[in-house]
Amino acid sequence: MLTVDQLALLFVLLLGAVVSVPVGDRFGLPAPVLMTLLGIGLAVADFVPNVDIPPDLILPALLPPLLYAAVRRTSWRQFTANKRPIFLLAVALVFVTTAVVALVAGAIVPGLPIAAAVALGALVAPPDPVAATAVAGQLGLPRRLVSILEGEGLFNDVTAIVLYHVAIAAAVSGTFSLPNAVLDLVLSAVVAVAVGLALGWAANRLMDLLDDVTLQIGLTLLVPYASYVLAEELHGSGVLAVLTTALFLAEYATDADDVMTRLAGHTFWNVVDTLVTGVAFGLIGLELHNALRTASGRWGEMLGWAAAIVAVVVLVRLAYLLPATWLTKRLHAKRDYDEEIPTSWRETVVMWWAGMRGVASAALALAIPLKMDDGSPFPDRDEIVFIAFGVIMGTLVLQGLTLPWLVKRLGVRADTGSEKAFEKALAIRAAKAAKRRLREIEDVEELPEELSEQLLRRAFDIGARISPDLGDEERREAHEQRVRRMKRVRRIQGEMMSAARHEVLAARSEPGRIRRLWTGCCGIWMCGVCVEVCSPTRAPPASSRLTGAGLPWGCGGDCGSWGSGRWCSLWDVARGGASLWRVCGGGVTPRAVFGVLCTIR
């Protein structure tokens, strides 16, 4: 049972995770760096209460949402397009790092068993891509580097966790058989993939039956936990099961008409990822606090061990990347591969320095059992936790703070020309799809010519927001005139909507109001939908709308954006592949619209 002090501490951890995001944005720092500093503060504070969390609950509680959130940032297509460099980094490099760290740790830490040393090597082996990609977003790194870092960060966790489980099992039991371990790994992988595919298919079917965004998002929160627990109960790999389920849903739950669910899910899982990451860093700070108490007088020696392991993981990554990148480029030159690879030594150096350790290492360190099978304490557990936190702190703080400087110094930048060409091609495809659907509707419905032209103009306007150079000079000039006019309309309409919302909110305290009627009216106005413009035959019940809080940029409800109910007609046009226009009809930046296109995949 948690005490009041422990609940207050949990609140502090969650608050620190939330505050770290805007503070990091303000000062150009990745949020995980600030969360690490929060963990350091908890480790050295004297007033922090003891929090004893069973280690066997750490992985089931933290890993499923973290893995699921990570998979939502990638896709199976992205993995297959970069399978060779991802395999070299996420599988081979993890094995190499684990082996070298185990050898060094066994040599410098007196009495450290080989199984415990391997567990230490496995838990510090996987880099965390969150901080690296956060910096990449600020500095505009090439897309190929970001894709490789994200893919590496997803699959290296699975590899490291598998090695970690094998090492921990050998350490607590005191026995190890290589043939049995290999057989167990194969069987657990088969069970995990089967469970992941089955639950992914079932969840996808169930979400098709649910027509409420809240229920669909709630289901996505339950699915990773169900996948993990079921696979573990069947003696499979829970981590691999979650990965399989998430990849299945990311690949097949991509109906363009479900864009509202995908946008709400994107926001929801960003929140979950931030909170769980903050809790993980806070908990390892608390665990380090306990370790420092029991290891008083040995801090200098333990700091030396941690510094040595930091040097090992950093140098091993560099020593591995240089020949691996050269070999991959040689193979790529001889054969027609579509994989993205670093094209210069500068990009290789950036990829090396972006190998920061993070939340996965923290969770694995917390999950080290307290006792062996015979009841004796786990050997050197406090030392392993201290070294793990030292590696996280050393890589996140040192590399995280200096990565922006290194990127600028080396002059690594994204190819903006190719990205703009991609945006233009995508805008043209979406516009053609919308136009085809409009022609199909005209074949079965009699539409006034003025309405058809208006719909085409609106479709062009949205495409032009994604790619400003879309169309000829005359059409672009007409688009700019319409944009200026719509900005004025939106400004005036926004003031009108604000006055209406304040009036509706003021009505809450008036006597004799009917709650049902007030709730319905409030739902419409809070979504920013102009009831005088929106067609009553198209407006769904207010209870079924997604409020602005569920969308990344805070746009309006089901009938359009920023109160422009006239955009409802685009819902029909959008069925040809551009339903995002219905959601982003007005008032959003080109990057936001392009982000929606990427979200739909």
Residue whose entry in the numeric block shows the structure tokens 């991802």: 86
pLDDT at 295: 65
pLDDT of 557: 35
Report which listed range, 37-46, 490-499, 516-525, is most confident.
490-499
Which of 109, 73, 82, 127 lies closest to 320 in space, CA to CA? 127
Residue range 123-133: average pLDDT?
78
pLDDT attached to residue 419: 64
Please tell me whether residue 206 adopts helix, strand or coil conformation.
Answer: helix
Concatenated DSSP letters of 127-148: BPHHHHHHHHHHHT--HHHHHH
| Whether the model pTM is above 0.85 | no
Residue 415: pLDDT band (50, 70, 90) is low
φ, ψ of residue 377 to 5 degrees: the values are -65, 150
* CA 125 to centroid of chain Cα atoms: 20
Please enumerate in sequence order all residues whose Cβ is within 8 A of that of 155, keeping only pairs 6 or more positions apart, or say none: 79, 86, 90, 91, 243
How far is CA 327 from its chain centroid? 30
What is the pLDDT averaged over residues 337-343? 52
Reading the block at residue 313, the tokens are 């993981």
Q: pLDDT tens-digit profile of 194-212?
A: 999 999 999 988 988 887 8
Model pLDDT for residues 141-164, shown as the tens digit of each residue: 777 777 777 777 778 888 898 899
Give the integer Cα–Cα distance in Å for 581 and 65. Answer: 30
Check pLDDT > 90 for residue 123: yes
Exposure class string for 576-595: b at 16+ Cβ within 10 A, else e: bebbbbbbbbbbbebebbbb
Q: Which residue has the tokens 């590496």?
A: 152
Q: Which of 208, 206, 195 is nearest to 244 (CA)?
A: 195
Task: Please tell me the distance from the alpha carbon of residue 109 to that of residue 105, in angstroms, as a whole number.
Answer: 6
- In this prediction, residue 313 carries a pLDDT of 95
Q: Give CA 584 to chain center in angstroms.
A: 22
Look at 395 and 285; give whichever has higher pLDDT.
395
Q: Give percent of the chain with pLDDT exceeding 70.
A: 71
Nearest 5°: phi and psi at 412? -85, 120
* pLDDT, position 431: 76
Domain covering 4-414: architecture: Up-down Bundle (1.20)
Say which residue the tokens 């996965």 belong to: 360
Residue in the structure block whose two tokens are 């505009």 = 140
Compute the mean pLDDT over every residue in the chain, rounded to the nearest whole number.
75
Residue 534: its pLDDT value, please? 36
Strand partners, 377: 371
- Average pLDDT, stretch 89-99? 90
pLDDT tens digit string along 462-515? 666 665 665 566 666 776 777 788 788 888 888 888 888 777 777 766 676 555
Beta strands (DSSP E) in 172-262 are none
Number of other residues whose CB lies within 10 A of the CB of residue 470? 20
pLDDT of residue 201: 92
**Mean pLDDT throughout 512-539?**
50
**Among residues 73, 182, 176, which one has the least CA distance to residue 133?**
73
Burial class (CB in 10 A: 0-12, 13-18, 19+), 520: middle
On whether the CB atoms of residues 126 and 160 are closer than 8 A, the answer is yes
Banded model confidence at residue 527, pLDDT cuts 50, 70, 90: low
Q: Where are the domains of the chain?
A: 4-414, 418-600
Examine the pLDDT at 252 and tell me if it is beyond 60: yes
Name the DSSP letter for residue 469: T
Residue 117 confidence class, pLDDT cut points 50, 70, 90: very high
pLDDT at 311 over 80: yes
DSSP assignment letter at 370:
S
